[in-house]
Structure 1
């Protein structure tokens, strides 16, 4: 098990679930709400698992991309997660199937798509190049264990990206 493969697989599943929403009958508000509820939990638990288990080793062992250093990459990822969380809250505040609901779902999808593309292009590559397979396996085990333990979700909490980075630096010192 390799954390980069786990994350890639889950990104595919997130794209698939947004695609399923596209195919749902627009008047099936109960079905839309149920499918969104499952996707919402998946998105948030995935983000929290990344923040707990993937980004700390990336900060320690990664070297960044040609466009940014590793601290900028992780700071941007936390900002992305916050944007996704904000969109999730807007979906929650809307009537399933309404124009407002679909607008919020679209915002969540757009933020998530952009985040996944950056993560796949930068962070996963950085980990593949600079983190050994044994460590990638250990991270994957911790990651999927956390997700299994929180299959019903976690509280949505915005994180200050700079405080997140500083907390990591304090723990590593």
Structure 2
């Protein structure tokens, strides 16, 4: 296992959930609501896991990818993106699911998340792969997986 690969897989799953929300018939409110709740929970749990496990190690071992300056700046930028994503989730969660305003806010959230994970993959993960040992990447992957599973089983995230 490798935390960099795990994070990339998580990002791809997020993309699939956003895609699903675009493909569900707008009259299927209960289906939209179920997938939205799943995406909201999934985003929250994974931001929590990255903040507690990945980014502290990136700040310690990374040197900073192109355009970031240094690894600490990379981590701070990611945390700021997470704050913007959480804020947009809260905005979206106050809207009526399936209404035009909800879909506009959903697209805004998708854009925020897409920008963040593109930067994460091109800078944070690239820097971490170059600098962290395979053993550290494996240990963090196990810790990350355990954190996710614990949150999924308990149903706890920063949003509830």
Q: Structure 1 length as normaliser, TM-score?
A: 0.88
Q: Is residue 133 of structure 2 the alignment partner of residue 136 of structure 1? A: no
Matches within 5 A, 1:149-164: 149-151=150-152, 152-156=155-159
Correspondence 1:77 to 2:82 = no
How does 1:89-100 map onto structure 2 within 5 Å? 89-100=90-101
Per the alignment, in what secondary structure is the counterpart of residue 97 of structure 1? coil
Deviation beyond 3 Å, 4+ runs, structure 1 = none
Aligned to 1:114: 115
Q: Contact 2:58/2:72 (CA < 8 Å) preserved in 1?
A: no
Structure 1 residue 66 displacement after superposition: 2.3
Deviation at 1:96, TM superposition (A): 0.6
Q: CA deviation at 1:12?
A: 0.6
The unaligned stretches of length 5 or more in structure 2 are none
Q: Identify the residue that residue 11 of structure 1 maps to in structure 2.
A: 11
Deviation at 1:153, TM superposition (A): 3.7
**Number of aligned pairs?**
157
Mark the runs of 5 or more structure 1 residues left unpaired by the alignment: 158-173
Q: Deviations over 1:52-111 (max 9, x none)?
A: 000011011000012121121111101110111011101110111012211221111111
Asked if the contact 1:42/1:153 (under 8 Å) is kept, the reply is no
